[in-house]
Chains A and B, each alone.
Chain A
């Protein structure tokens, strides 16, 4: 089983739609979680950290479910500019806080 798994998509949604992605992780002791965004052939950019209590930043909401070992990202009122690949990042507790484990990403296409 992969350490971090994501549905590769693509998720094709119309502008204005709400879309959600999940990311599952295998190490129950994982301590830190992030969502990064990667545009085609560009570097990953931090979208948001994921806290135990969940967090929201504008149209984006991230949740952590430790019992089921997954994190989620919800995007409301999708914009064309949201089209990108969304990367889930997990930091396992045993590796030190620097060894990011990336999922392969979920591709989102927002359609006009």
Chain B
């Protein structure tokens, strides 16, 4: 029973390039969340998606960042024109549903560590 899968695990980009991070939720989970963890800081909520819908993107920077969760395939977090400050660990989590006892528990993937040179 595979857990949440993320790839790549490590990604190196030069300033100005694009970064694409992928997340496949756990089997049976239709709710996906992205978090960012800067060095020596806690995880910060970025965005919550369901299939083909962005439910809450209040934690996403207004520019250069976008996320999608298409009908088929993984969720994608896209960062355009990366800057050094984007270097962080990006974690994806999934749940069966956002509410109700037990169903809102979020299970995290192994993360993608983005390094911007």
Contact = CB atoms under 8 A, between A and B. Distances in A.
B80 interface: no
Contacts of A97: 98-99, 104
B14 interface: no
A98 B108 contact: no
B42 A43 contact: no
A37 to B, nearest CB: 11
Given A87-B43, A104-B41, A98 B31 contact: yes
A66 B35 CA distance: 27
Contacts, number: 59
A102 interface: yes
Interface residues of B, number: 29
A44 B33 contact: no
Interface residues of A, number: 22
A59 interface: no
Interface string A93-112: 00011111111110000000
Contact of B56 (A32, A45, A99): A99
Nearest to A46: B105
Interface of B: 31, 33, 35, 40-45, 48, 55-56, 58-59, 89, 91, 93, 95, 98-99, 104-111, 113
